[in-house]
A = this chain, B = another copy of it.
């Protein structure tokens, strides 16, 4: 059942900014990545399996490190769900990830599945990432749709 307050244009804008996040990651475009995040001390990014990175400056530095250590990454998103309350929106999605590894041949890729919860805040310049929590899917126990 869709959220009655969620207008089509807002949903499209949120899906676009969510997609822009993954495009920036895939491209290793640190400037584009930086522009997507809320410039605030309470911005939080939880990379998969890691402890929280707090504050926009630390989040930007963490992305520089992640991108420097990623030779190739490609996302296929599934189950993208957008929800909205006033000026805050959440997007949850399944990240089906392909990564390359310099240590193997260039046509060998690893696959993985992670879940991301991303919380966006409306700003005069558009939606910005306030909180991202990404974590690997370990099993499908306990997970089911309504």
Copies of this chain, tallied across the complex? 2
Q: Which chain B residues border A88 with CB–CB below 8 Å? A: 85-88, 119
Q: Looking at chain A, what size class is its interface with the partner chain?
A: 35 or more
For A142, what are the chain B residues with a Cβ–Cβ distance below 8 Å? 47, 50-51, 53, 62, 65-66
Query: Which stretch, A23-31, A97-105, A131-139, touches the partner chain B?
Result: A131-139
Residue of B nearest to A55 (CB): B146
Interface residue A18 (Cβ < 8 Å from any Cβ of B): no
A residues at B contact (CB < 8 Å): 1, 3, 40-42, 44, 46-55, 57-58, 62, 65-66, 79, 81, 83, 85-88, 90, 92, 94, 115, 117, 119, 121, 130-131, 133, 135-146
